[in-house]
Amino acid sequence: MEPNEPKIKVEYGTEVTIATFDVDNILEDRQIKKVEAALQPVVEKNEQRKLVLNFENVRFMSSAFLGLLVKVHKHVIEAGGHLQLFNLDPKIYKVFQITQLTKIFDIVQPEKQ
């Protein structure tokens, strides 16, 4: 596996599924396609539960990845589930604010210690 190959750690619970990205940037189309392929079965298995995408390790992402997140959001909602984005880097969160994606996504930022 290449050094910056996207990896996703998935934890399935009874009411919530948590998918944590284990990569610091998601920029290239190849990476985005691999993330999409990894997320697809997670979304399908999630059914009517809450899906949390944890971005604690992600520092940079491309606009194409934002498009994938919109697509994932649509699939989760259509299946009767709920998508939540968690722990976005402040710079990434700012992009969500500027693009007004904060109105579409349920975004939870951890409280500062």
| Residue pLDDT, tens place only, 4-63 | 566 899 999 889 999 999 999 999 999 999 999 999 999 988 877 899 999 999 999 999
Residue where the block lists tokens 């619970």: 13
What lies within 8 Å, CB to CB, of 62 at 6+ separation is 26, 27, 28, 32
Answer with the residue of higher pLDDT: 110 or 9.
9
Fold of 8-108: Transcription Regulator spoIIAA (3.30.750)
Counting every residue written for the chain, the total comes to: 113
**Domain positions in the chain:** 8-108
Q: Name the token pair of 56.
A: 């604690």
Q: What is the pLDDT of residue 45?
A: 87
Question: pTM here?
Answer: 0.90
Q: What is the pLDDT of residue 112?
A: 64
Residue 1 predicted with pLDDT over 50: no
Residue 88 predicted with pLDDT over 60: yes
Q: What is the pLDDT of residue 113?
A: 47
- For residues 29 and 63, is the Cβ–Cβ distance under 8 A? no
The three-class DSSP label of residue 86 is strand
Answer with the residue of higher pLDDT: 3 or 9.
9
Q: What is the pLDDT of residue 37?
A: 94
- For residues 55 and 92, is the Cβ–Cβ distance under 8 A? yes
